[in-house]
Structure 1
Amino acid sequence: MVQSDTQTTRQCDTEHPEHLKISAACEHIARVKAGHLNSGQAAAAALHRARSAVQLNAFISLAELSDISVAADSAKDLPLAGLPIAVKDNIDVAGLPCSDGTPALKDWRPQADAAVITRLREAGAVVIGKANMHELAAGITSNNQFFGAVRNPHTPDLIAGGSSGGSAAAVASGMVAAALGTDTAGSCRIPASLCGCVGFRPSIGRYPMRGVIPLSTTRDTVGLFTRSVADTRLLDRAIAGDAIAPRSGDLTGRRIGVPRAYFFDNLDPTTAAVIENALALLKDAGAVLVETEVKNVAQLSGPISLPIIAYEALRDIAMYLNRHRSPITAWQIAEQVAGSLEKSLLANELFGEPVRDEVYRDILATARPALIHAYHACFNESRIEALVLPTTAIPARPIGEDETVELSGARVPTLPIYLQNTDPSSVAGLPSISVPAGLTASGLPVGISFDALPGQDETLLALAEAFDTLRPALPAPGVFFR
Structure 2
Amino acid sequence: MSEIEKKIEEAKRHADLNYFLYLNEKVVEEVEFLKRAGRCGALCGMTLAVKDNIEVMGMPITNGAPYMKKISDKTAAVVRRLMAEGAVVLGKTNMHELALGVTNINPHFGPTRNPHDPSRITGGSSGGSAGAVAIGVADLGIGTDTGGSVRIPAALCGVVGYKPPYGKIPMDGIYPLSQSLDHVGFIARSVKELVNILSAVGWAPRDLSPPKRFRFAVLMGITEPSRYVEKAFWKAVEVLENIGGFRDEVFLDSTKYSAARAALLLSEAAANYYDYLRSVGEHMGRDVATLLGVGVALPSVAYIVAKRIKEEATQYFNILFKKYDVVVTPTTAIEAVPIEQADSITMRRKLLAYTEIFNLTGHPAISVPAPATSSLPVGLQVAARDEDTLLAIAEAYEAAL
Q: State the TM-score, normalizing by the size of structure 1.
A: 0.78
Residue 376 of structure 1 corresponds to 318
What are the equivalent positions in structure 2 for 1:5-24 lying under 5 Å apart? none
Tell me the equivalent position of 1:306. 262
273, 280, 287: which is aligned to 2:238? 280
* Map 1:243-322 → 2, pairs under 5 A: 246-250=207-211, 252-262=212-222, 265-293=223-251, 295-296=252-253, 298-316=254-272
Per-residue CA deviations over 1:244-268 (Å, capped at 9, x if unaligned) read 5643035x21111112232xx4111
Flag the 1:109–1:238 CA change in 2: closer, same or farther, 3 A: farther
User: What is the rounded CA distance, in whole Å, between the counterparts of 1:334 and 1:253 in structure 2?
Assistant: 55
SS in 2 for 1:389: strand
Q: Is the 2:199–2:206 contact (alpha carbons within 8 Å) kept by the matching residues of 1?
A: no
SS of 2:113's partner is: coil
Match 2:96 to one of 134, 138, 151: 134
Q: How high is the sequence identity, in percent, across the aligned residues?
A: 34
| Deviates most, 338-347 or 150-159 | 338-347
1:357 corresponds to:
300
Question: Counterpart of 2:140 in structure 1: which amino acid?
Answer: A
Alignment of 1:145-156 (within 5 A): 145-156=107-118
Could you say which residue in structure 1 is the equivalent of 2:355? 422
Pairs within 5 Å for 1:331-410: 331=277, 334-335=280-281, 337-350=283-296, 353=297, 355-364=298-307, 366-380=308-322, 383-403=323-343
The aligned residue for residue 12 of structure 1 is none
Q: Secondary structure at the match of 1:290?
A: strand
Q: Runs of 5+ in structure 1 lacking a partner?
A: 1-37, 319-328, 405-411, 472-482
Match of 1:14 in 2: none
Secondary structure at the aligned position of 2:16 is classed as helix
Number of the residue aligned with 1:79:
42
- What CA distance in whole angstroms lies between the structure 1 residues aligned with 2:130 and 2:90? 15
Verify the 8 A CA contact 1:171 1:226 in the aligned structure 2. yes
Q: Which amino acid is 1:390 matched to?
A: P
Amino acid in structure 2 at the alignment position of 1:60: L
Deviation at 1:76, TM superposition (A): 7.1
State the partner residue of 1:101: 64
Alignment correspondent of 1:42: 3
2:44 aligned partner, one-letter code: A
**How far is the alpha carbon of 1:45 from its aligned partner?**
2.1
> 2: distance between equivalents of 1:170 and 1:42?
15
Read off the aligned partner of 1:287 and give its amino acid letter. G
Instruction: In structure 1, give the amino acid aligned to 2:286.
Output: S
Larger Cα-atom Rg:
1
Superposed CA RMSD in Å reads 2.2
Q: Residue 121 of structure 2 contacts residue 342 of structure 2 at CA under 8 Å; is this kept in 1?
A: no
2:122 to 148, 155, 160: 160
How far off its partner does 1:333 sit? Answer: 6.8
3-state SS of the aligned residue for 2:73?
coil
Question: Are the aligned partners of 1:104 and 1:336 in contact in 2 as well (CA < 8 Å)?
Answer: no
Tell whether 2:380 aligns with 1:448. Answer: yes
1:360-403 CA-partner distances (Å, limit 9, x unpaired): 23322x211111112123223xx211111111111100002233
Unmatched 5+ residue regions in structure 2?
A: none
Of residues 38, 52, 59, the one that matches 1:89 is 52
Runs of 4+ in 1 over 6 A off after TM superposition: none
Q: Deviation per CA, 1:172-206, whole angstroms, max 9, x where unpaired?
A: 11112211011000101110110000000111011
- 2: CA distance, partners of 1:110 / 1:317: 19
CA contact (8 A) 2:239 2:400 kept: yes
Instruction: Give, as a single letter, the amino acid of the residue that structure 1 aligns with 2:317.
Output: Y
The equivalent of 1:51 in structure 2 is 12
Over 3 Å counting, the alpha-carbon distance change for 1:134 and 1:71 in structure 2 is farther
Letter in 2 for 1:267: P
TM-score (norm 2): 0.93
Q: Is the 8 A contact 1:274 1:438 kept in 2?
A: yes
Q: 1:333 to 1:179 in 2, by over 3 A?
A: farther
Q: Retained in 2: the 8 A contact 1:42–1:84?
A: no
- Matched to 1:307, the amino acid is A
How far does residue 128 in structure 1 lie from its aligned partner after superposition? Answer: 0.8
Deviation for aligned residue 1:237: 3.2
Kindly tell me: are residues 76 and 123 of structure 1, through their superposed partners in 2, closer, same or farther at Cα, counting changes over 3 Å?
Answer: same
- 1:276-305 per-residue CA deviation (whole Å, 9 max, x = no partner) reads 111111212222222234x43x13312212
Distance in 1 between the 2:279 and 2:358 partners? 29
Q: Contact (CA 8 Å) 1:201, 1:431: kept in 2 or not?
A: yes
Aligned counterparts of 2:166 and 2:279: Cα–Cα separation in 1 = 26
Aligned counterpart for 1:434 among listed residues 367, 371, 375: 367
